[in-house]
Amino acid sequence: MHKRPYHHGDLAAALLARAEEMLREKGSDALSLRELARDLGVSPAAPRRHFTTKQALLDALALTGFERLTAAIATAQDGAGRTFPEQLDATARAFVGFAAANGALLDLMFSAKHSPEASEELGGAALRWVQQGLDMVAEGQRRGEVRAGDLERVALTVFAPLQGYIGLAASGVVAPEVAEEGLDDVIASVVRACRPD
């Protein structure tokens, strides 16, 4: 078996890919830089050439998470009808689907503990996700399908139920069959709640 050349080639990308697998397998608590290094056949200190701290790696993971979430939702919205209920339905299912496949990554994304130096880039990605949601609600308001009012406040009432559904489903506090069928109810309740008077 040939020994790997001294330069890995693209260790940064490999670390992120393997870290995501480990996140999915074991959760963020068990994610370990040394184990990542072992898995990739490099020394324990090699990851530090690409991510100065463990937290920096986690922040990079959260960043890719927001990028992929935003992309998944955009794709779902493109393939849906143009009414607000149709757009919301597509958005909600894409969001929940992403959460089902990437629960630990989502936790990481919405965790309050990001390092300050990551705030700008990571914050930018989070903001694009937020803006995407605001755009959908704004379009609904323009079409007269969503109640009037401050855009951010109305959007909060749209996305809080989805976020909460995801959290409750993931925590196991809600029975799996209730969670499975309950998404339809949650989406319908959001549509009812923000329907103009």
Partner DNA sequence: CCTACATTGTTTGCATCGCCTACATTGAGA
Partner DNA sequence: TCTCAATGTAGGCGATGCAAACAATGTAGG
Q: Give the x/- contact pattern for DNA in 4-43, rule: CB under 7 A.
A: -xxxxx-x-------------------xxxxx-x---xxx
Can you read off the two tokens belonging to residue 27? 């959760």
User: Where do contacts with a copy of itself occur on this chain (CB under 8 A)?
Assistant: 27, 29, 103, 110-113, 126, 129-130, 149, 152-154, 156-157, 159-168, 170-175, 178-179, 181-182, 185-186, 189-190, 192-194
Question: Phi and psi for 82 in degrees, rounded to 5?
Answer: -95, -10
> At its nearest, how many Å lie between a copy of itself and the CB of residue 83?
18
CA 122 to chain centroid: 12
Q: What is the 8-class DSSP label of residue 30?
A: G
Helix, strand or coil for residue 21? helix
Q: How far is the CB of 34 from DNA (least distance, A)?
A: 4
Read off the DSSP letter of residue 180. H
Number of chain positions touching DNA (CB under 7 A)? 25
Give the shortest CB-125-to-DNA separation in angstroms. 22
Residue 105 amino acid letter: L
Residue 174's contacts (CB-CB under 8 Å, 6 or more residues apart) are 168, 182
Residues that bind DNA (CB under 7 A): 5-9, 11, 31-35, 37, 41-46, 48-50, 52-55
